[in-house]
Structure 1
């Protein structure tokens, strides 16, 4: 009898733990998250920098999100590589028909969702919220680089 009770309690404990684990896991499959984290393996900007700094693995820095973190390094050559890669990724996304624009600030997550409800408006721009309130300087700088490139590409496209 005690064995059955123990088995039953074990079963319920396992079930409770599994259900809590699943409820704490949040998966964001939004188009903005997919584009922010999309890895471009064909990047060759700054390959010489990755040879100079062997602790940096070039294959890790292949998305908008990861390349943004390169801007946090104090070495100017690493920052230049980050800029080049961010511009390259932004250009590739634009050519795929997915121009991106990075936003931040109070309720930028809500703004992102609202603006991305209809991706057929305003030049098909996909808005990506990278910070709700405050963010480190390097993320703001990355957003400036990406947004400037996106607007430049849109302007060039519309002047054709």
Structure 2
């Protein structure tokens, strides 16, 4: 009986360990690229008078993607966030972590598979921003970031 319990505990431990390896890769990618905050960027003056947004520094691509949907019908603020997202995409490229946003069915799985080897295809880091349902604002930020990344990669060649 004791042997069976020990074997079960060992198997559970191995299963947990193997899952942590994949999770840590995904976490590392998010922290080092998508969530990386560039402190040299100044706050956006367009969100200064917005109660929920004035405390957001908009220093990472994650913040831009997450909060651009809050201002879907305020074009001036949305354009400022999109412009900041392009700035951050440029900074990420200069730091040798160009980022490419993807969406659609199973996009998080596709991103994980493409990110297994970050040395291929210009070291692109793929980030899923919408799994099944995407909004027009997410599509727009995805487009401007991907266009900037593609432009920078092509200009290097």
The TM-score with structure 1 as length reference comes to 0.72
Partner in structure 2 of residue 99 of structure 1: 98
Query: Cα offset for 1:82?
Result: 0.6
Question: Whole-Å Cα distance in 2 between the matches of residues 103 and 54 of structure 1?
Answer: 30
Query: Cα offset for 1:47?
Result: 3.2
- Return 5+ residue gaps in structure 2 as ranges: 1-19
8 Å Cα contact 2:97-2:123 kept in structure 1: yes
Question: Whole-Å Cα distance in 2 between the matches of residues 121 and 129 of structure 1?
Answer: 18
- Return 5+ residue gaps in structure 1 as ranges: 1-25
Query: Cα offset for 1:96?
Result: 0.3
The TM-score with structure 2 as length reference comes to 0.73
8 Å Cα contact 1:70-1:79 kept in structure 2: no
CA RMSD of aligned residues (A): 2.2
Partner in structure 2 of residue 108 of structure 1: 107
Displaced runs of 4+ in structure 1, greater than 3 A? 50-55
After TM superposition, the structure 1 = structure 2 runs for residues 5-44 of structure 1, keeping only pairs within 5 Å, are 28-29=23-24, 30=26, 31-34=28-31, 35-44=33-42
Q: Count the aligned residue pairs.
A: 132
Which range moves more in the overlay, 132-141 or 82-91?
Answer: 132-141
Question: Whole-Å Cα distance in 2 between the matches of residues 61 and 111 of structure 1?
Answer: 27
Greater CA radius of gyration, 1 or 2? 1
Query: Cα offset for 1:50?
Result: 3.3
Partner in structure 1 of residue 122 of structure 2: 123
